[in-house]
Amino acid sequence: MKILFLDSAHPSLKKELEKNNFICEEDFHSSKVEIEKKISQYEGVILRSRINIDKQFIDTGRNLKFIARVGAGMEHIDVAYAENKGIKCLSSPEGNRNAVAEHALGMLLNVLNNISKANNEVKNGQWNREINRGTELEGKTIGIYGFGNTGSAFAKLLRGFDVKILAYDKYKKYFGKDSVKESSIEEIFSEADILSLHLPLTDETKNLVNDSFIKRFKKNICLINTSRGPIIKTDDLVKNIKNGKIPGACLDVLEYEETSFELIQPVANNQQPTALQYLKSSDKVILTPHIAGWSFESSEKMARILAEKIISLTSK
């Protein structure tokens, strides 16, 4: 079976596939149009997020047996259309779930304890103790919206902090166990001090977290997003940071990312959206460049898991 890699991956993925008699070729630079001219030569394609796999691409790849995503989100692949054409769509969210969970926890502890703010102040000759007094996790209620791979991994890490964990997933039932309470979204609105988003980007979730959503929380709410940027309407987020409803935000993803997950960069920073400029300047916001699942360990794990799935699929 002949496979085309459209993005780089941990070398163990290619090595394991070749060991199992797959022919692996790479093209990390050609445009989508150029790839479509030759994709019919391949039975499998492996990528991260460099190009969109739409109906035209799928129709052109008439010999494709599978499309494999190194990672979790599948929003840039028309999965329904591909599978309707008999093309299996694979991903490896199991491989980076722990990395995402650890990153979310690290960002949360950072913002609650003013770590980045205090670090910058000390390095600039300021020794401000009282204004950097921290807030403990113990005794808080944490809402987890989406209880798939990363949501459940985040809950697992939280169990040692003596917190109440409420989890809501519209499409899953009977998952509550140990210290996790399966909850309604209304219960999270009523009780949560912290909300962590673990959702795919779909028509249903785009701009889900907007002003009306945020206003439904009874308490002021600390917000974590390690899923996809467009789930949050950034203008509304900034409005609620300014008015104190959101005293802290941890954002690994931004509404302004390209589909490749690179930040859309105007020539000058002052040409960036006003909301983005505010996020970059606010001491109440922790920003990272879509790296929550981007650990050295997750790279290897995602490759291993995807190789297993491809080999299993094609051996049937």
Q: What angle do CA 294, 300, 306 make, to 5 degrees?
A: 100
Q: Would residue 86 be called left, alpha or beta, if left means φ above 0 and alpha means ψ between -120 and 50 degrees?
A: left
Whole-number pLDDT of residue 181: 97
Whole-number pLDDT of residue 101: 98
Is 260's pLDDT higher than 90?
no
Q: What is the pLDDT of residues 66-101, one digit of tens each?
A: 999 999 989 999 999 999 999 999 999 999 999 999
Q: How much is the average pLDDT of 299-304?
A: 97
Q: Are residues 307 and 268 in the same domain?
A: no
Q: Which of 316, 226, 312, 304 is nearest to 70 (CA)?
A: 304
Q: Are residues 204 and 163 in the same domain?
A: yes
Question: Rounded to a whole number, what is the distance in angstroms from the first to the last CA of the chain?
Answer: 14
Whole-number pLDDT of residue 271: 78
Is residue 166 very low, low, confident or very high in pLDDT (cuts 50, 70, 90)?
A: very high
Q: Are residues 152 and 41 in the same domain?
A: no
Domain count, the chain: 2
253's CB contacts (< 8 A; 6+ apart) are: 225, 226, 227, 228, 229, 261, 290, 292
The structure's pTM equals: 0.93
Look up the domain containing 78 and give its range. 2-93+296-314
Q: Are residues 37 and 149 in the same domain?
A: no
Q: Are residues 120 and 227 in the same domain?
A: yes
Known catalytic membership, residue 228: yes
Q: How much is the average pLDDT of 204-214?
A: 97
Whole-number pLDDT of residue 269: 61
Whole-number pLDDT of residue 187: 98
Q: How much is the average pLDDT of 195-223?
A: 97
Known catalytic membership, residue 138: no
Whole-number pLDDT of residue 177: 87
Whole-number pLDDT of residue 58: 97
Q: How much is the average pLDDT of 20-39?
A: 96
Q: Are residues 80 and 102 in the same domain?
A: no
316's CB contacts (< 8 A; 6+ apart) are: none
CB 228 within 8 A of CB 71: no
CA–CA distance, 171 with 185 (Å, rounded to integer): 13
Is 266's pLDDT higher than 70?
no
Q: Are residues 199 and 305 in the same domain?
A: no
Is residue 314 very low, low, confident or very high in pLDDT (cuts 50, 70, 90)?
A: confident
Q: Are residues 144 and 210 in the same domain?
A: yes
User: Which residue of the set 10, 48, 50, 290 is catalytic?
Assistant: 290
Q: How much is the average pLDDT of 251-271?
A: 79
How many C-beta atoms lie closer than 10 Å to residue 295's C-beta?
17
Q: Are residues 267 and 134 in the same domain?
A: yes
Known catalytic membership, residue 290: yes
User: Which residue of the set 94, 257, 300, 304 is catalytic?
Assistant: 257
Using a pLDDT cut of 70, give the percent of the chain over it. Answer: 98
278's CB contacts (< 8 A; 6+ apart) are: 238, 241, 242
Q: Are residues 51 and 160 in the same domain?
A: no
Is 270's pLDDT higher than 80?
no
Q: What is the pLDDT of residues 101-151, one digit of tens each?
A: 999 999 999 999 999 999 999 999 999 999 999 999 999 999 999 999 999
Phi, psi of 171 (to 5 degrees): -110, 10
Domain of 139, CATH number, reads 3.40.50.720
